[in-house]
Amino acid sequence: MKTETKLEISPEISVTKSIDFSTESMFMGRKMLVIEHRGEPYYLRVTRNNKLILTK
């Protein structure tokens, strides 16, 4: 699901960013996803501090 959010950087500048996926919809309660890129698995995980780490 793609959403757009308007960001106000300063009164003169605003930027619209496009969001392709939310982590809630991708992870669905899990802590790790396996993503295949060019035939190789990559692991996207959520840390204890709620950060994302991508490893090969």
User: What does the pLDDT average to over 16-29?
Assistant: 87
pLDDT at residue 36 in the model: 97
- CA pair distance 45, 23, nearest whole angstrom: 10
CATH code where residue 15 lies: 2.10.70.10
Q: How far apart are CA 24 and CA 39, in angstroms?
A: 25
pTM of model > 0.75? no
Cα–Cα distance measured from residue 36 to residue 34, given in angstroms and rounded to the nearest whole number: 7
Range of the domain at 18: 3-55
Instruction: In whole angstroms, give the CA distance from residue 26 to residue 44.
Output: 10
Q: How many domains does the chain have?
A: 1
Give the tens place of pLDDT for each residue, 39-48: 999 999 999 9
The tens digit of pLDDT for each residue in 25-39 reads: 999 999 999 999 999
